[in-house]
Structure 1
């Protein structure tokens, strides 16, 4: 059984491990979200200021770190979107608008997130797998929200619709962040809200 990290300088060993892990994930987000299509252990350690010998106490390899970076971004956005929906009124439009606004704002205020999630120039097997996984997760989350709101249950038509909506929304954000859509943030939110509402009858028959 591995020995627990010792307390040093008044700081619990587990807390030091957690802090080093946080610093490595943040450095990974900086690198993936700005300039580098691939991570290297050396580059991440240099960026984070964490000695390379500590990298492997948190991650098996650079792919594991890349997955952690992606999960961090998805987790932050999901939490923000669900909180926005919970804080909105019970109006159908207000709930959809709150979720869309929260997601668009999250990627607009921190371009690193948008690059990690949507950039076509940042692509490898690890990110491709994580993007497919998150598409399924968001489709399931959208279905659950629709069923809760409308008092309906899942069906094949709803599964198709939620995947269509999530995939389309992701492509809009990809094009917008890539400069292919000449729209301001408010217009993106409004038009995506309208499109999601138009699909609502199919998501909740």
Structure 2
């Protein structure tokens, strides 16, 4: 019997129940990855115990614990990306307001749930599968930032813009890592404001909406 034919129990369709179970497993995986001893502490048995589900339901959604770890990572990254884009879109017009809204959302989202920060930045979580995902997510955020810059300033792409976004996203990731580890003695608001000024300084005030690509391309010849 196909998944489309799954029965309805208690008013909840079979596909919805499967999605709920998957969400429970992802939450359990986040708890174990974000508070435990790293990937070695994540076992099928442990995830099932934490989620209150049996192994049958684990394998209904995931082939193994690596696949679960990837799903947990992607869930966290997707949530941060979606919240950040929504914050930028809702912010008042103007570069400063939009950059601050994006940065504040990223910092708040990581700070309010330390498990997310550990998953994204902790060296204790450095298996091949998560290391690869971290590289991919950094590139994804750089692409998102580049898209926002192009839309905001009405410019096309360029190597200089690519360099700027890679520089800013990589620098922010390192700053967040050090902040979460207590290396940077800053409040949440202080971190946002310092990063805001750095983002604006790198942009250098050389672009205004409608200026085109000339500002970013200056000095690259």
Determine which of 19, 40, 44 is the counterpart of 1:41.
44
Q: Which runs of 5+ in 2 are unaligned?
A: 208-212, 217-221
Query: What stretches of structure 1 of length at least 5 have no aligned partner?
Result: none
Q: Is the 8 A contact 2:43 2:65 kept in 1?
A: yes
Equivalent runs, 1:43-192 vs 2, <5 Å: 43-192=46-195
CA shift for structure 1 position 98: 0.5
Structure 1 residue aligned with 2:210: none
The residue matched to 1:33 in structure 2 has which SS?
Answer: helix
CA distance in 1, matches of 2:159, 2:11: 56
2:199 corresponds to which residue? 196
C-alpha separation in 1, matches of 2:183 and 2:129: 26
Q: Which residue of 1 aligns with 2:19?
A: 18
Select the structure of larger CA radius of gyration: 2
CA deviation vs aligned residue, 1:141-168 (integer Å, no higher than 9, x gap):
1000000011111111111111111001
- Secondary structure at 1:152 match in 2: coil
Deviates further, 157-166 or 19-28: 157-166
Give the TM-score taking structure 2 as reference length: 0.88
Question: 1:95 offset after TM fit, Å?
Answer: 0.5
What is the RMSD of the two structures over their aligned residues, measured on CA atoms? 1.5
Cα deviation, residue 138, structure 1: 0.5
TM-score of the pair, normalised by structure 1? 0.95
Shift of 1:2: 4.1
